């Protein structure tokens, strides 16, 4: 799908208020996106996906951090409900990449902490699996297809826009382009218990830039400070940490073929998710889909 120049302009309203009025066109995807991951990404942003002939996603590898950047004028985020968390049936986006997405998917990556954690929230399709809490870092997708990131009731949701999904996980990792004060001195208590008790573990996060582009960051040996600084270096003004520890984090790009997409891992050394989100998965996760 394509968007008007007005939508493209408003996609860049990524200020502290988190408001956006850009809309995603309802025109169908005529051709599958072209997705190709480089064998050895470097520090510079390298295009990895094209939608309608335009670059929609980029990858970079900076030190021990993998970064994926997505243009919301050409691709949008979808929150999936896992078979166990939150469980149940009837979700628009369920426990695998579905038939409505299979020819649109650019990328997929893990969601947040287990829904039994004290500082999470989950809402999709008007159904609240875990109540949303004021102040938590929130990844908010609106009916117009745009996603914003901010603190709940302190920047998001935007007034006048219908919310279709929210994933909350802890407090903001990055706010106004600055890392949270706790990333150095409150690693385990503030940012999650780790396998083995160390501060540098497999860790993921999702941020938003001032121009409205989304940035996903991940690595196998990262502290909260390291991943926060990588996102800030990539232009993120706000960010939410997602899941941590090696067995629950993964990111994939999807190359397209007549028989369906093939998942390509993007994080060096990642343990990976069985089925690579093309088969049923028990936890929530995100896909990035061509507009």
Contact (Cβ atoms closer than 8 angstroms) between residue 290 and residue 104: yes
131 has a pLDDT exceeding 60: yes
Question: Which of 19-23, 109-113, 136-140, 199-203 shows the lowest per-residue confidence on average (mean pLDDT)?
Answer: 19-23
Per-residue confidence band for 259, with pLDDT thresholds at 50, 70 and 90: confident
CB proximity list for 39: less than 8 A, separation 6 or greater:
none
Strands 65-70, 54-62: parallel, antiparallel or unpaired by DSSP? antiparallel
The answer to whether the pTM exceeds 0.85 is yes
pLDDT number for residue 32: 80
The 3-state DSSP class for residue 227 equals helix
Could you read off the pLDDT of 176-195 as tens digits, one per residue?
999 999 999 999 999 999 99
Q: What mean pLDDT is reported for the chain? A: 91
Q: For 212, left (φ over 0), alpha (ψ -120 to 50), or beta?
A: left
* Region of poorest pLDDT, from 11-25, 50-64, 152-166: 11-25
Distance of CA 230 to the CA centre of its chain: 15
């Amino acid at each position: 799908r394509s968007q008007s120049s007005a939508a493209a302009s408003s996609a860049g309203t990524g200020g502290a208020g988190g408001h956006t009025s850009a809309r995603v066109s309802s025109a169908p995807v005529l051709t599958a996106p072209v997705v190709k991951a480089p064998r050895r990404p470097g520090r510079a942003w390298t295009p990895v996906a094209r939608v309608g002939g335009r670059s929609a996603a980029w990858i970079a590898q900076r030190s021990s951090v993998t970064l994926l950047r997505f243009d919301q004028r050409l691709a949008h985020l979808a929150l999936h409900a896992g078979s166990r968390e939150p469980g149940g049936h009837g979700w628009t986006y369920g426990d695998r990449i579905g038939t409505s997405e299979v020819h649109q998917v650019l990328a997929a990556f893990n969601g947040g902490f287990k829904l039994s954690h004290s500082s999470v929230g989950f809402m999709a399709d008007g159904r609240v699996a875990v109540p949303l809490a004021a102040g938590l870092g929130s990844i908010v997708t609106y009916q117009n297809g745009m996603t914003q990131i901010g603190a709940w009731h302190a920047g998001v949701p935007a007034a006048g826009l219908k919310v279709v999904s929210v994933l909350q996980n802890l407090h903001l990792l990055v706010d106004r382009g600055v890392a949270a004060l706790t990333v150095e001195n409150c690693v385990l208590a503030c940012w999650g218990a780790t396998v083995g008790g160390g501060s540098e573990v497999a860790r993921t996060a999702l941020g938003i830039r001032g121009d409205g582009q989304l940035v996903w960051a991940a690595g196998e040996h990262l502290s909260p400070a390291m991943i926060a600084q990588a996102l800030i270096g990539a232009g993120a003004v706000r960010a939410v940490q997602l899941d941590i520890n090696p067995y629950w984090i993964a990111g994939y790009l999807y190359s397209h073929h007549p028989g369906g997409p093939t998942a390509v891992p993007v994080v060096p050394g990642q343990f990976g998710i069985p089925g690579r989100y093309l088969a049923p998965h028990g936890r929530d996760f995100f896909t990035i889909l061509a507009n």
